[in-house]
Structure 1
Amino acid sequence: MANFATLDELKARLDWTLDADEERIATSALEDASDLAVYYVGRDWPDAASAPRLVRTLVLKACKRFMDNPSGYTQSRAGDETLGWNDSQGENAGTVYFTDDERKLLTEIGGRKPGLVSAQVSAWNSVRRPVSAGLVPVDKPGEKPFPMFGSDGEPW
């Protein structure tokens, strides 16, 4: 499985120059985001060039979000050194993750769309008989179905 983005592409999106330790973390983040993208899309591509560009963009966004805030802080103060987390990110705090909208895009790229599906159901070895609307079927051969209600076309 190939990474959908390179370290140089991620460096171009960041506002600072990475040191050796941050480069190692960024490389791992790219691998994690690529693995998650394959999971949500539901398929893999032989190389990153054959994948849609949107997959690469979403992987880079997730990695940039992680590199900007690797610990998942939601509150930070310089005075008294206050740091804080909350449950808004839940289990994703401090990890590489895709937002709900990004996950929805990835699943649609894979051809899976959420929603209701209607499927016709029938009994095993059953035979469907065409019946005109408003007529009750008769099981005797040769007999004409009789109307269930009065109509102008076929009075009782």
Structure 2
Amino acid sequence: MANFATLDELKARLDWTLDADEERIAASALEDASDLACLHAGRDWTSANAPRIVRTLVLKACRRFMNNPSGYTQSRAGDETLGWGDDQGEDAGTVYFSADERRMLQEIGGRKPGLVSAQISAWNSRRRPVAAGLVPVAQPAPDARPFPLFSDEVEPW
């Protein structure tokens, strides 16, 4: 599986220069984020055929991780306290996509959540063609006509 972003692109988004150990961590974060992007989208993209927004989302997730790789939610030094609001919960200290980012990846991949209507029928049954807007009725007489369900331009109620 290919990375959707390069290490140089991630370095350009960070506020500091990475040392060798941080570069190793950043490279693995890019791999993890790329794998997660494919998982959430349900696609097997390569770096050549993935939409550009996927690269942006991968870089955003990696930047979030590199800013706080240990997953701290609060840090205190003397009189100063620093808190991270977006790294709370089970995702703290890992590469992750927010709920909005996951939803966006699913939509890009064609996986739209929601209700789906599926037509069902009995085994070996056949559908009879019915004119649009008409409900079939039991045929008590040979000249019985279907009942209109709603009005249309041709035959209003």
User: Which bracket does the TM-score occupy, shorter chain normalised?
Assistant: 0.7 to 0.9
- Aligned equivalents of 1:116 and 1:128: distance in 2? 24
Q: Which residue of 2 aligns with 1:127?
A: 126
What is the one-letter code of the residue matched to 1:35? D
Quote the offset at 1:115 in angstroms.
Answer: 1.1
Name structure 2 gaps, 5 residues minimum: 148-154
- Aligned equivalents of 2:101 and 2:146: distance in 1? 56
Q: Which residue of 2 aligns with 1:118?
A: 117
**Larger mean Cα displacement after TM superposition, 22-31 or 117-126:** 117-126
Q: Which residue of 2 aligns with 1:57?
A: 56
- Aligned equivalents of 2:30 and 2:146: distance in 1? 69
Please report the TM-score for the alignment, with normalisation by the length of structure 1.
0.80
- Name the CA shift for 1:143/1:3 in 2 (closer, same or farther; >3 Å): same
SS at match of 2:48: helix
Quote the offset at 1:79 in angstroms.
Answer: 2.2
What is the one-letter code of the residue matched to 1:136? V
**Larger mean Cα displacement after TM superposition, 10-19 or 112-121:** 112-121
Q: Which residue of 1 aligns with 2:21?
A: 21
* Larger CA Rg, structure 1 vs 2: 1
- Structure 1 residue 70 and structure 2 residue 69: aligned? yes
- Aligned equivalents of 2:93 and 2:81: distance in 1? 17
Q: Which residue of 1 aligns with 2:41?
A: 41
- Aligned equivalents of 2:128 and 2:56: distance in 1? 53
Q: Which residue of 1 aligns with 2:95?
A: 96
- Aligned equivalents of 1:128 and 1:7: distance in 2? 58
User: What are the Cα deviations for residues 63-122 of structure 1, in whole angstroms up to 9, with x where unaligned?
Assistant: 000000111222111028989899x73221100000000001111111111111112211
* Number of equivalences: 147
- Aligned equivalents of 1:147 and 1:25: distance in 2? 70
Give the conservation status (yes or no) of the 8 Å contact 2:73–2:88: no
SS at match of 1:77: strand
- Name the CA shift for 1:113/1:65 in 2 (closer, same or farther; >3 Å): same
Quote the offset at 1:146 in angstroms.
Answer: 7.2
Quote the offset at 1:131 in angstroms.
Answer: 5.8
- Aligned equivalents of 2:121 and 2:52: distance in 1? 43
Name structure 1 gaps, 5 residues minimum: none
SS at match of 1:63: helix
- Structure 1 residue 106 and structure 2 residue 102: aligned? no
- Structure 1 residue 9 and structure 2 residue 35: aligned? no
Q: Which runs of 4+ in 1 moved over 2 A?
A: 79-86, 127-136, 142-148
Give the percent of matched residue pairs that are identical in Structure 1 and Structure 2.
76
SS at match of 1:76: strand
